[in-house]
């Protein structure tokens, strides 16, 4: 049973708390906006703190929503204990529901990026009654889906080789200066090759995340976690929750047509392209991304 520690919701613009979830894990949670507005839960990708969602994006979304972002297990200020208490990736979807339960949020719009998009697909299958809408981007269709006559597996390219080389170094011991350089280079590749890359913007982000986390050590927990239980793509054919799939045309992790394949697997899903979007969230793309999400959730475009 999830439990909140720290300040409670109600009548504030911004607050932080901790939510205790199963297996002795405590998650850092931040809430922004008016609790009387529709809730919007942001679910980040693998090994990434909730602070990876840009403050500017949270601010724009909070004009129409009560925005919740949080640190997954083994990221940020949440409990780091994977090696003592390992868990499967699918448990992170249960954590998202635990956050809603602890904040007494009956239903929410949910936005998932990268691995967060995988988790949102599981939420669509197991907790549809808790979702007002779903938005997914930077992700791919979970396994086990029925063959698509229009987009075959051979049409789905893998990650950029430059990323594979960087990922081979994930979790290696580096001093803070070297770790910062590695992370900025990682963001450079994730950004894609169309939008200008502002190295100092992402260096500032990583300094904030390190200060927030209290360490420069990178976690590889989600890369090591059990991937079983994700072969459920065929079940998406029964989804009725309004779903938006955002196509990131410059994404080096899940390049086109991954987004189109995912959208085709979910009945009625909309597919909208955000020009220039890669697998990073630079300031240059935040206004168009926020407008795309807000249009889908029924807020101001």
Instruction: Identify whether 214 is part of a domain.
Output: no
Query: Which candidate in 139, 213, 251, 296 is catalytic?
Result: 251
pTM: 0.95
- Report the domain count for the chain: 1
At residue 218, the pLDDT reads 81
Residue 7 is predicted with a pLDDT of: 47
Residue 229 lies in a domain: yes
Residue 238 lies in a domain: yes
Query: Which domain, by its residues, includes 231?
Result: 3-157+221-297
pLDDT at 172: 82
Let me know if residue 27 belongs to a domain: yes
State the pLDDT at residue 1: 42
Residue 32 lies in a domain: yes
Question: Of 49, 62, 78, 114, which residue is the catalytic one?
Answer: 114
Catalytic residue check, 133: no
Q: What is the C-alpha to C-alpha distance for residues 73 and 91, in angstroms, rounded to an integer?
A: 10
Position 212 in a domain = no
For residue 279 the two structure tokens come to 């697998």
Asked if residue 17 is part of any domain, the answer here is yes
Cα 122–Cα 124–Cα 128 angle in degrees, nearest 5: 130
- Residue 8: exposure state from Cβ atoms within 10 A (0-12, 13-18, ≥19): middle
| Residues 210-237: tens digit of each pLDDT | 999 999 988 889 999 999 999 999 999 9
CATH of the domain at 63: 3.40.50.1820
Question: What stretches in the chain show pLDDT beneath 70?
Answer: 1-12, 300-301
Q: For the beta carbon of residue 156, count every other beta carbon within 10 angstroms.
A: 17
Residues 6+ apart with CB under 8 A from 117: 43, 45, 136, 137, 138, 139, 140, 262
Q: What is the pLDDT of residue 9?
A: 42
> Is residue 210 one of the residues assigned to a domain?
no
Alpha carbons 55 and 40: distance in angstroms, whole number: 15
114 annotated active-site: yes
Catalytic residue among 65, 222, 279, 296: 279
Q: What is the pLDDT of residue 3?
A: 52
Read off the pLDDT of residues 19-53 as tens digits, 9 standing for 90 and up.
Answer: 999 878 999 999 999 999 999 999 999 999 999 99
Please give the pLDDT value at position 12: 60
């Amino acid at each position: 049973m999830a439990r909140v520690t720290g300040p409670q919701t109600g009548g504030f613009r911004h607050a932080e708390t901790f939510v205790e979830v199963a297996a002795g894990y405590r998650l850092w949670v931040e809430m922004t906006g008016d609790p009387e507005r529709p809730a919007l839960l942001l679910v980040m990708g693998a090994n990434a703190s909730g602070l990876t969602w840009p403050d500017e994006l949270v601010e724009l979304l909070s004009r129409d929503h009560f925005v919740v972002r949080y640190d997954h297990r083994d990221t940020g200020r949440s409990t780091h204990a994977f090696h003592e208490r390992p868990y499967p990736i699918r448990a992170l979807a249960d954590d998202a529901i635990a956050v809603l339960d602890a904040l007494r949020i009956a239903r929410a719009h949910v936005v998932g990026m990268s691995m967060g998009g995988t988790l949102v697909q599981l939420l669509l299958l197991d907790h549809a009654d808790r979702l007002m809408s779903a938005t997914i981007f930077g992700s791919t269709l979970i396994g086990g889906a029925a063959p698509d006559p229009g987009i075959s597996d051979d049409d789905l390219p893998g990650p950029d080789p430059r990323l594979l080389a960087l990922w081979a170094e994930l979790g290696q011991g580096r001093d803070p200066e070297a770790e910062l350089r590695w992370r900025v280079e990682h963001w450079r590749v994730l950004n894609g090759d169309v939008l200008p890359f502002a190295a100092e913007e992402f260096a500032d982000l990583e300094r904030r995340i390190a200060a927030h986390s209290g360490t420069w050590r990178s976690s590889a927990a989600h890369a090591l976690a059990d991937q079983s239980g994700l072969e459920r793509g065929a079940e998406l054919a029964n989804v009725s929750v309004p779903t938006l799939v955002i196509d990131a045309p410059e994404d080096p992790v899940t390049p086109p047509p991954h987004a189109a394949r995912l959208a085709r697997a979910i009945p009625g899903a909309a597919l909208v392209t955000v020009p220039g979007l890669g697998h990073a969230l630079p300031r240059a793309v935040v206004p168009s991304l926020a407008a795309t999400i807000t249009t889908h959730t029924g807020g101001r475009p």
